[in-house]
Amino acid sequence: MGIILLAILAWPSYMILSWAWSLFHNYRLAKKSGLPVLVSPFSPDRLPYMILKVPLRPYLEKYLGPIFSGIRPSIFGWEMIDKTAVHNTHGETFILCTPDVNEVWCSDPELSNIILARRRDFPQSQGTIRVMQTFGSNILASDGDVWARQRRLVVPNLNERIMGEVWGSTMEQSSQMVDFLLSSKLDGVQGVGENAKGVSDQNIECVRSVAKNVLGQVGYGESRPFQLRGLPRDQEAAAKMTYVDAVGLCGELIIVCVALSSWLLKMAFMPNILQILGIAMDKLPNLCKDMIEERRKEVHDSGGRENFMSMLIRMSDDSKMGRETSKETGGLYLTEDEIMGNLFVFTAAGYDTTANTLGYAVSFLAAFPEWQVWMQEEIDSVLGQPGADIQDYASLYPKLPRCLAIMLEVLRLIPPQPHLSRHLPAPGLNVHLESGKSHFLAGPANVYINVLATNYRKSIWGPDSHDFRPSRWISQSPEHNPGKPGQEVHFTPEKGTYLPFSGGPRVCPGMKMAEVEFVAAMVRIFSHVSAEPVCLPKENGELETMEQARERTYMVASTTQQRITTQMANPEGVILRWVKRESEARSATSV
């Protein structure tokens, strides 16, 4: 009995001593860097803390006082809340010392650039790999030679050959969306009254539908008309879900897919949305295999019109068979699992990023009408030129830097990911900066580039770094004709200062496609219509002023949640009125 009692008492003592020793050991490693060190008694990746840290944040901040400064960066989403505050206090780069593994948090553009450029010294984080390889090996969930091979095969399929298709498909879908929104009528909202035509609370879902259909056309050759259709949310919709539907749902709830198996999710006691997710997880592999085989048959039987999937299949199959055309890939090819994995990433991450950026842009332009007019001035100028053809991607796209500036500014304020993650293996390495500074970063450590903090730094973006000001992206050099729509050139920031699409060798291969799709959507939508917030009743029953409605719209759009990318927490809260413009550039906007 005494031995059992001794063991019971010894176990917590052992755990406390082990925790204290680990924290002390990691603190000694952190101090070797010469960087500021914050200490958190909690390990960010331990399951109990992962579950409790967000709801406990207000209480920890209230009752722990100065101790909370070390805990703050261990709480999920702190970057969105604190922006530059932590780095302003503790430095551009600091180390968070925890009992498990230290974390390096960096907002220094020069060091960020080094981390992203040296992919072998700073490989992809294991957390990212674990999440992103759920549905097959892919370019995001691989490293070393496997990553190099996949990149060589995947990236060439996202080049200029498909940009015309992206432009045209986006134009068509956006035109249909505009017609839908102009005919919308939102009833039951006090303050809208009889003037409900053209008013909608489904604006974000509309642009998501545009992005989904463009992806289906360009990625898989699936052409469908615009239709306001969200992700499957009931058993009937689940039975009819397409590949893109299944990927959209799995991508939205990717962490749940990683944590729980499909058979558990489908249990009767689970919430309905999780049961549907379980069905999607089971259907996804077969939906993808069927689609691949269908496209493979089209590619080899008739050639057909090429899209992202058909090009992946053709290049991979040619290499496997040793055909002459395989010289462009050096005889390399993707396995079936890798084709499926890269299609998942292309669909989930590509669709989500573009859809969300379009949603934020529409909301911000309604909240800040001066920038909507600024962009429309460029659209009217370019489309009003003799011989202008709205379908001509090659000639129009380079003349629309203001439209692109809207996207760049949205992604500066709300990037798809608040940070980029890498891993530093043991024993670590010395990093030398051009500024003359040198740091020894001891491994193992998780390395995080704080994209949000860099994006909001006043030393980089000016005193108005927290404001939505798209004109900061237009070059002010006299030779670039600032202030002359259609002749301007967009500003290119210094390396490491702007990383919504990552950077270095692992920069997002779909960046150009996202930019082309965004600009095409802006041109088609805002050449025809303008968007404005709807004035809603306040608590006292009086209607908001237009200024108050704009402020509310901006606040609703800026309140986010993290899924596979950063999304609006309440998209239905963005209620807009769409008004047909009196002076359209009709001569150039026919489809």
Q: What is the pLDDT of residues 327-347, one digit of tens each?
A: 555 667 788 888 889 888 888
More confident: 308 or 29: 29
Q: Is 426 left (phi over 0), alpha (psi -120 to 50) or beta?
A: beta
Check whether 586 has a pLDDT greater than 70. no
More confident: 193 or 144: 144
Q: Residue 516's pLDDT is what? A: 97
Check whether 585 has a pLDDT greater than 60. no
Tell me the C-alpha to C-alpha distance, in Å, between residue 355 and each of 73, 215, 584. 29, 10, 25
pLDDT-derived band at 364, boundaries 50, 70, 90: very high
DSSP bridge partners of 530 = 579
Check whether 38 has a pLDDT greater than 90. yes
Q: Residue 45's pLDDT is what? A: 84
The answer to whether the CB of 472 falls within 8 A of the CB of 461 is yes
Check whether 52 has a pLDDT greater than 60. yes
The Cα–Cα gap between 252 and 249 comes to 5
- Calculate mean pLDDT across residues 191-199: 71
pLDDT-derived band at 186, boundaries 50, 70, 90: confident
Q: Residue 123's pLDDT is what? A: 94
More confident: 311 or 291: 291
- Calculate mean pLDDT across residues 514-527: 97
Q: Out of 186-190, 319-323, 528-532, 586-590, which region has the weakest mean confidence (pLDDT)?
A: 586-590
- Give 397's contacts (C-beta < 8 A, 6+ positions apart): 163, 167, 516, 519
Q: Residue 210's pLDDT is what? A: 95
Check whether 589 has a pLDDT greater than 50. no
Check whether 305 has a pLDDT greater than 90. no
Q: Out of 296-300, 446-450, 543-547, which region has the weakest mean confidence (pLDDT)?
A: 296-300
Q: Residue 223's pLDDT is what? A: 84
- Calculate mean pLDDT across residues 431-437: 85
pLDDT-derived band at 322, boundaries 50, 70, 90: low
Q: Residue 102's pLDDT is what? A: 95
- Calculate mean pLDDT across residues 461-472: 96
Please give the torsion angle defined by the CA atoms of residues 20, 21, 27 and 32, in that order, rounded to the nearest 10 degrees. Answer: 170
Check whether 71 has a pLDDT greater than 70. yes
> Using alpha carbons only, what angle is made at residue 357 by residues 356 and 359, rounded to the nearest 5 degrees?
65
Check whether 590 has a pLDDT greater than 50. no
